[in-house]
Amino acid sequence: MKFDSICMVGLGYIGLPTAVVFALRGVKVIGLDVNERAVDSINRGQTHIVEPGLEDALRRTVSAGHLRATTTPEAADAFLIAVPTPFIDEGEGHDPDLSFVESAARSIAPVLKKGDLVILESTSPVGATEQMAGWLAEMRPDLSFPQTEGEASDIRIAHCPERILPGHALRELVSNDRIIGGMTPACASRARQLYKLAVEGDCIETDCRTAEMAKLTENSFRDVNIAFANELSVICDRLDINVWELIRLANRHPRVNILQPGPGVGGHCIAVDPWFIVSQAPEEARIIRAAREINDAKPDWVLARIHQAVAEHAATSDQPARIACFGLAFKPNIDDLRESPALSIATRLTELYPGQVDVVEPFVRELPPALDGKTRLMSASEALSACDIVVLLVDHDDFKAMPAPSGTRIIDTRGVWTGRPS
C-alpha cells in the first residue's frame, strides 16, 4: 500500500524540515499546526524559523503544490507528530509533559481511517507511544489498535525519534540512520516503508520502547560528556589552568576525546531528555542525574564570574559597569533559543543589573519576551564601544572572526578568544 498523502503535525524546528523533505520527493504533505501566523507564512513559501536552505526548499514545494499548511486536521495516509514535550512544571520539576502529544492525538483521531499509520516523532519518555495509542483508541472505538489487536489492528503505530543537528536539518533528515520502533513488527515495517521514501540512511526496526529509550540514551551520553568538560573547566579555573589548552593537550591521546566546555547546556534535546530517564528510574540513573546537575549549575558559575568582574570594575570606577552579552542561542549559527543557558544568563543579568546590560545576537531580529524592554539588541561594534565587561556566551562564526576585544574585561565561556593558541 503506497502513501498518497502525509500529515505533519507540528511545524516547528523538526516538523517543518521533515514536511519539506517528504514534499521534495513529490509526496503530498499537509502541514498541521495551531499557530495561524506560522501556517500563513508557510503557505506563502516563507519560513518562521532559521534553517539553512529551508526557505528555498519550502518555496519550491509550496509552488509545486506538494506542501500546504492548515490549522484544521485532514485525512491522510500517515500522520507524523512532532510537538513539544517539555516538563510539567517548568523550573519546579522534571517530569515530562505529554499534553501536547495528547492534544495532537485527539485532534487527528476524528480523521483516521482503516490502514492509516501514526508515528510519534517527539522525543518522549518510555511508554509515551503506547499512551498515545490509548488516547487514539479512546477517541475512535470503531477502529482497532495494536495494544488490543496486535498485528491485525486497523491502525499502525510507531515511534521514530528525530536525531538531527540544527543548522543541518535538510541534509541529516535524509542521510542519518533512523530508529523505527513499532508497537508490533507490522507497525515498524509500515513506518519503515514511509521513511524510505525520503531517508537514504539505514532504517532499523525495533520495538517502540527501545526506540524511545534510544533517543534518550543518545542525548544522555552527550550530556554526560559535556558535564565532564564543564566540571573540568571549573576545576581548572580554581587551579589557574587554561582549560582550552589542557583539553587540546589531553586530546592528543589516541583514545581521549574531551568535548568543549561552555556556559551550560541548552536546546530541546540534551538539556531535557536525560531528565526523562531520571524521572522514570530515579534510583538507578545516578550518573545521568549528576551530569544534569553539573550542566544546570554552570550558568550560576558564569554569573559568579560576572559578579566578580563587576566588583573589580566598581573598585576602579565610579560609573556602573556596562555588560555586553555576546550570543543568546543555545548553539552557534542558529536562532534557536530553547533552553538556552546564554538566554538564561542574559535574562538574570538584566534583573541583577537593570539598565547596564546590552545584547549582541546576529541571528535574531528582535529580543525574546524574557528580555523585551529590559535591554537593547546591538551590533558587536556598538556593544564593544560602550561596554566594560564582555561576556562571550555563544561561539557564533561572526564572533570567532573578530579579534579579541581590548580594553575590557573578558569572560569567555566558549574559548573563542581566551582559548586561542598563542
Confidence of residue 371 (pLDDT cuts 50, 70, 90): very high
Burial 13-31 (b: 16+ CB within 10 A, else e): bbbbbbbbbbbbeebbbbb
Average pLDDT estimate for 289-294? 98
What's the domain range around 126?
5-201
pLDDT > 70: percent of the chain: 98
Within a 10 A sphere around the Cβ of 150, how many other Cβ atoms?
14
Same domain, 158 and 300: no
Segment among 161-170, 290-299, 390-399 with least mean pLDDT: 161-170
Average pLDDT estimate for 80-87? 94
pLDDT > 90: percent of the chain: 91
Within a 10 A sphere around the Cβ of 127, how many other Cβ atoms?
13
Separation between Cα atoms, residue 114 and residue 137, nearest integer Å: 13
Within a 10 A sphere around the Cβ of 216, how many other Cβ atoms?
24
Cell numbers linked to 403: 579579534
* 97 lies in some domain: yes
Domain-ending residue, one of 166, 201, 236: 201
Residue with cell 530541546: 268
* 222 lies in some domain: no
- Residue 269 belongs to a domain with what CATH number? 3.40.50.720
* 73 lies in some domain: yes
**Model confidence pLDDT, tens digit, residues 47-75:** 998 889 999 999 999 999 999 999 999 99
Same domain, 286 and 152: no
Domain-ending residue, one of 184, 201, 218: 201
Domain count, the chain: 2
Same domain, 174 and 289: no
Average pLDDT over the chain, rounded to an integer: 95
Give the three-class secondary structure for 81: strand
Same domain, 163 and 290: no
Same domain, 274 and 194: no
pLDDT for 268 equals: 80
* 419 lies in some domain: no
Cβ atoms of 39 and 33 closer than 8 Å: yes
Q: Which residues are catalytic?
A: 215, 269
* 127 lies in some domain: yes
The residue count of the chain comes to 422
Residue with cell 490502514: 115
* 261 lies in some domain: yes
Same domain, 237 and 382: yes
- The residue ranges of DSSP E strands in 111-260, in sequence order, are 117-120, 156-159, 178-182, 203-207
Which residue type sits at 129?
T
Separation between Cα atoms, residue 265 and residue 227, nearest integer Å: 9
Same domain, 59 and 158: yes
Q: Partners of 385 in the beta sheet?
A: none
Residue 420 has pLDDT above 80, yes or no: no
Average pLDDT estimate for 94-107? 95
pLDDT for 267 equals: 86
* 262 lies in some domain: yes
Same domain, 263 and 193: no
pLDDT for 44 equals: 97
Same domain, 139 and 43: yes
Confidence of residue 87 (pLDDT cuts 50, 70, 90): confident
Average pLDDT estimate for 74-95? 87
Same domain, 262 and 164: no
Residue 364 has pLDDT above 60, yes or no: yes
pLDDT for 310 equals: 97
Same domain, 272 and 156: no
Confidence of residue 167 (pLDDT cuts 50, 70, 90): confident
* 217 lies in some domain: no
117-120 and 156-159: which strand pairing?
A: parallel
pLDDT for 422 equals: 43
Residue 246 has pLDDT above 70, yes or no: yes
Same domain, 271 and 357: yes
DSSP one-letter code for 324: E
Residue 421 has pLDDT above 70, yes or no: no
Average pLDDT estimate for 236-250? 96
